[in-house]
Structure 1
Amino acid sequence: MDLQTRILIVDDDEGIRSLIGEFLGKHGYATETAADPDAMRALLAQQRFDLIVLDVMMPREDGLTALRQLGPDAPPVIMLSAVGSDVDRIVGLEMGADDYLAKPCNPRELLARIRTVLRRRAAVTAIPGASVPALPAEQPLPEGDVQSGEVLRFAGWRMDLGLRLLFDPQNRLISLSDGEFRLLRAFAEHPRRVLTRDQLLDWSRGEDSELYDRAIDVQLSRLRRKLSDGDGGGDIIRTVRNEGYLFVPSVIA
């Protein structure tokens, strides 16, 4: 692990900051900690960070407010929230958090999430001509972009399962959250059949997503909007009244 991979941990609980910082340090990450969003912003102005671990429940200024104020050049953010805060989880995903984890969390689970987010960001920046601020869907990608080999294709779209990236028929990168990508994968792996909400939950939420039951409605709405905004994605996911949802196109692996 490159010791220059830098993680900023923002939490008002000194014990949690120390625990996470020491654990990540043992796995090769350089860490800095901040007790509140003001300290976070001061550190961001002075140093480069590759990822922020941001607590939601903090006095004076909460993590969601701090997330909203981060600029477009900010590093990816994984948010931490107390168990049961499903509203915070949904709002955080809506506001652009890269991932969301319930507290108390297993440090190894947090480590796995960090590695996934960093790997996804590295895959994007490895694409020639792409930059971190250029992740929104409107940015075209040059020919010969990176591909992992695990690819699903449907209606001109390309879904790279290894790199966790989605490209529309015009080869533009469509920015998806982790939950949106898992949901789309569930659809793409079960095409042209009506799927119930419970089936989508089983196939997309993952073993550690206790609060995904509420969040899936937000994820589905955002995913359908992004597919509709992309070229040729107007009717990829169709609602079947009183039954569920249908992934319309055929899929080629």
Structure 2
Amino acid sequence: MIQIGCTSFKEHTFLTGKKETSLFEYAAHFPLVEMDTSFYAIPKQAYVKEWLKQVPEAFQFIMKLPKVFTKHEELTGDTSLTELAAELLESVRPMVEQDHLFCLLAQFPPFFDCKRENVDYLRKLRQLFPATPIAIELRNNSWYDPSLVEQTRDFMQEQNFSLVIVDEPKKLSTTIPFDDYVTNPEFIFFRFHGRNDVGWNATGPDAKRLRTNYRYDNDELTELKEAVTNAQKQGKKVAVIFNNNAGGDAAENALQFKDLLQLDFENLNPSQLDLF
């Protein structure tokens, strides 16, 4: 089963013509969303319950791990990672109980390279969330060095991680390759960031806007379709997230990709509320 969605639900003007789209409106078009707000703070369970009220029965959430778990921020204060993991799991418990959680996403920063210390940390991360599906996105290409990539894949399989299959700029020496190796057949995760070679390494307040400002053309989507179709043969379920929304292209590209794959998403929300 292939499910397609976008990062966040609010900023997809293409779907509604409005500056902000509600989760209910978004779920009339897609069966899957990646929630990035959890990267900045563990959501209150009350918010999680409200999200669940707005989506149909089969809708799935990908929850991004808070940045303290992925080395973007140092742990401070008296609270341990173990306590924070318990807090997060309690927060998303209704999502798990109602079978709405596709996975947690651990997106590591570019400085998280392939060395013993970081391999050990990934083992610790699995211990923190022993029974939860976790997808790992790596942004340092040392993990994909020809001398290490097989070990990287084997390690991900051993830890029951799904190594995210990432599409990002192709012409930069710092980016990771498009490696469609499946490390966990239980769930497979593709994340499409676009191929903005110029903006990918931007810094400053406009960095995020520049990095993902990209529109996939039909040839590129057809190329990606082949990889997703092949992956589907190797696993139970496949998630495809379009993260190229800086220019407002993610939702339209996602719907184009749906049509290329000839998918028909059933049991979505109605496109508008009935008047009677």
> Structure 2 length as normaliser, TM-score?
0.29
The answer to which structure, 1 or 2, has the higher relative contact order (CA under 8 A, 6+ apart) is 2
> Structure 1 length as normaliser, TM-score?
0.31
